[in-house]
Structure 1
Amino acid sequence: MTVTTFKLQRRGKSTTYDLRDVLASNPKWITDLNFSAGELDFDLFQSGHPIIPYTGDIIKFRWDHHKIFYGYVFKYQIKENNIVSVTCYDKERYLKNQDSIVWQAGTVADRFNNVCKRAGIKHKVVDAPTHKVAAEICDGKTYFDMLKSAITKTQTATKHMYYVYCNYDTVELRKAPYKKLKMIIGSKSAMTGFSYAVDINNVANVVKVIQKDVKKSQSKSATAKQKQANGKSQKTTSAKAKTSQKDEASRTSFKSVSVKGDSTKQWGKLQVTVNKKNKANHAQMIKQAKDELRKRNRANKELTIDCIGNVDLVAGNAVTIKINDINKTLKNCPILKAEHEFGTDYMCHLTMKVGAEWLQETS
């Protein structure tokens, strides 16, 4: 296996350069489910006939004839020893553009098609959800944020996760997992290292839903005044603030409902509060607390794997992991982030989510 295509093309021109002979490092390719553009990093030699990549230039990369990356130079850095380091992003990068849009009720696919057209990027809906999310006003947000909002609401309602992925030169809306790979990565096959971490730093096993009540003031607050040397009166700000705070405190009360998970016996009480949804009654507040507890009352388990490279090991796919050291076999384990380093020893570093669900909280 080897680099079969590595070309630079001046944007808007037909001029192209073959970079294979001037590559000074193994190309590194990163895909990430956390609403991030695909990234390609590499170094070039600048001796003999130097090729300086300009920002905006097109980079096309194929590995063993597989289409891997089509994107644009966003950064280059000239270093000592005639080396230029280059960072490129694929077309998803243009979903970081900001805009203000009033969204009518519609599906994730509707929103995806709209923002891709606005960003001017080639796109395709591979998997289209039928669930419609409510109307929403997005003011000064990125297209990624707008998609994330709709994807999260769709996942909550349907238990299905959708994500955005750049398939070479086409940005796609896919349903996870896109592929359930038949291969097994394990202690005796392909895996060269691993790390398994469990933490409860962001866990909550008690959720309290708060309703704040503020009664209308029945009397005007007193205002202290003092005479200035010129005879004019001036409000004493500190005195007024203290009186106002006292008045507000006397008129404010909180009502709440709370739910508790069994994990308090193991972890102790880890409580969070959330404001009740607008116009929610008591039963709806309890349901809100239970829904929130279901999302928060679980340890975060993260598995990272170093293994022999494969072009299908990308974010959004799933693969079976078998680790003898911790006596675990994880079927269809979600790949949240994948880092590929191409070279004589083609290797991958994978960040996995342990558990059956495809969770949106990937950061």
Structure 2
Amino acid sequence: MGLGFFSEVKIMAVTYFIIGNRDFTKRWDVRDIVTDIKWTTDLSFSAGELQFTLLEVNEGFFPANGDAVSFHWDSNETFFGYIFSIKYNSDQTIDVVAYDRLRYLKNQDTIVWPVGNALQRFNSIMNRTNTPHDNLAVATVNLPAEVSDGKTYFDMLKSAFEATETMTGNRYAVRDQYGQVQFIRVRTNDDAYISDRTNVVIGDGSLMIDFTFGSSIDELYNVVKLIKETEDEQKRTVYTTKTSNSESSQRRYGTLQVVEKADDKLNDSQIQNRANQLLRQYNKEKINLTLNAIGHDVIRAGTRFYISIQDLRDIGIGTREVLATKVTHNFSHDWTMTIDAEID
């Protein structure tokens, strides 16, 4: 697969910006009075956010919470969502915050889940909330039956996605694509399909303005201990303990141990397998990369792209694919983006 470099500066503009009531029976074109547009997407189970400022109030128009917002940048459908916050300033400007449909996944509910996979749970939530949706990946491993009592839909999905990743190494996410919520896969340990993989390269002479790089072991564990509590016939508590550890990691970082409670329905072999799975998940140095770059229309949270930065090659990080976990686009004459990326 060839890596295509993008070095040209694109002069783009707002080509469509409409605010209206929820069914758009009333609408206002605010292209000429909107400024400071900032669009943020984030993989951490949060809604896409659009912040913008209106420079003046048109006669007969003032935005209201709950109004719909439709925004196109350079004729591309960029954001569709609803206003959740308005601030009217003394200079007659209006600061507005709108969120995409993912905002409604903060709603709470109680659901009794049968045995099923993460995709089935996603589809169930989307149907329950009458949310337009699409599946861009599959998830086949079954999760045990459980009760989600008074939890947000985000929390329900997070639980299902994290359990699936622990068992399979596949990482899933949800995103809003101009009003349609999509189920996507952003990481895999095999050759399975990844939903948003691109050939875009950000680096020296290719979009990048600057970068920061850091690493941390604050959340690394190289000893995982699982403990199951059961009762014997005399009602005494019996503890079963299974441990998984990495000696090489302990020699490098010292012993970093985590203890978790195992499901009391698991047998000894299943507990050991679970400990091994958690060790693979926890025994990783966390590497963070933040890029400031010229705007590119395909980059958003969940996108995989390439980095090629000489200063990083000097410390052993060559050209490689990375995952955008949070992206903020600042739309102006000088369209830029800030990207938080994970290096696998």
The TM-score range, normalised by the shorter chain, is 0.7 to 0.9
- The residue that corresponds to 2:66 in the other structure is 56
Deviations 1:84-139 (A, max 9, x none): 11000011111111111112222333222221122222222232333333222111
Deviations 1:17-39 (A, max 9, x none): 1111111x321111111111111
- The residue that corresponds to 1:236 in the other structure is none
- The residue that corresponds to 1:232 in the other structure is none
Separation in 1, partners of 2:282, 2:241: 19
Q: Verify the 8 A CA contact 2:223 2:244 in the aligned structure 1.
A: yes
CA, structure 1 residues 283+157, in 2 after alignment: closer, same or farther (shift >3 Å)? Answer: closer
- The residue that corresponds to 1:2 in the other structure is 13
- The residue that corresponds to 2:198 in the other structure is 181
- Of 304, 311, 315, which residue of structure 2 is paired with 1:325? 311
- The residue that corresponds to 1:80 in the other structure is 90
CA, structure 1 residues 213+171, in 2 after alignment: closer, same or farther (shift >3 Å)? Answer: closer
Q: Verify the 8 A CA contact 1:330 1:354 in the aligned structure 2.
A: no
Separation in 2, partners of 1:109, 1:308: 35
Q: Secondary structure at the match of 1:149?
A: helix
How far the C-alpha of 1:320 sits from its partner, in A, is: 0.4
Q: Does residue 5 of structure 2 align to residue 16 of structure 1?
A: no
- The residue that corresponds to 1:337 in the other structure is 326
- Of 182, 205, 211, which residue of structure 2 is paired with 1:194? 211
CA, structure 1 residues 99+21, in 2 after alignment: closer, same or farther (shift >3 Å)? Answer: same
Q: Which moved more, 1:258-267 or 1:272-281?
A: 272-281
Structure 2 matches for 1:181-260, cutoff 5 A?
181-212=198-229, 256-260=241-245
CA, structure 1 residues 259+101, in 2 after alignment: closer, same or farther (shift >3 Å)? Answer: closer
Q: Verify the 8 A CA contact 1:320 1:329 in the aligned structure 2.
A: no
Separation in 2, partners of 1:78, 1:276: 52
> How many percent identity over aligned positions?
34
Q: Which amino acid aligns with 2:321?
A: N
Separation in 1, partners of 2:155, 2:55: 38
Structure label with greater radius of gyration: 1
How far the C-alpha of 1:10 sits from its partner, in A, is: 1.8
Unaligned runs of 5+ in 2: 1-11, 187-193
Separation in 2, partners of 1:212, 1:326: 48
How far the C-alpha of 1:140 sits from its partner, in A, is: 0.8
Q: Verify the 8 A CA contact 2:24 2:68 in the aligned structure 1.
A: no
Q: Which amino acid aligns with 2:279?
A: L
Q: If the length of structure 1 is used for normalisation, what is the TM-score?
A: 0.82
Q: Which amino acid aligns with 1:302?
A: N
Q: Does residue 99 of structure 2 align to residue 89 of structure 1?
A: yes
Q: Which amino acid aligns with 1:119?
A: T
Separation in 2, partners of 1:12, 1:92: 18
Structural RMSD (CA): 2.3
Q: Across the two proteins, how many residue pairs are aligned to each other?
A: 322
Q: Secondary structure at the match of 1:263?
A: helix
- The residue that corresponds to 1:235 in the other structure is none
CA, structure 1 residues 279+90, in 2 after alignment: closer, same or farther (shift >3 Å)? Answer: closer
Q: If the length of structure 2 is used for normalisation, what is the TM-score?
A: 0.86
Q: Does residue 164 of structure 2 align to residue 154 of structure 1?
A: yes
Separation in 2, partners of 1:257, 1:196: 36
Q: Verify the 8 A CA contact 2:14 2:74 in the aligned structure 1.
A: yes
- The residue that corresponds to 1:234 in the other structure is none
Q: Secondary structure at the match of 1:329?
A: coil
CA, structure 1 residues 266+283, in 2 after alignment: closer, same or farther (shift >3 Å)? Answer: same
Q: Verify the 8 A CA contact 2:101 2:179 in the aligned structure 1.
A: yes
Separation in 2, partners of 1:89, 1:28: 12
- The residue that corresponds to 2:342 in the other structure is 353
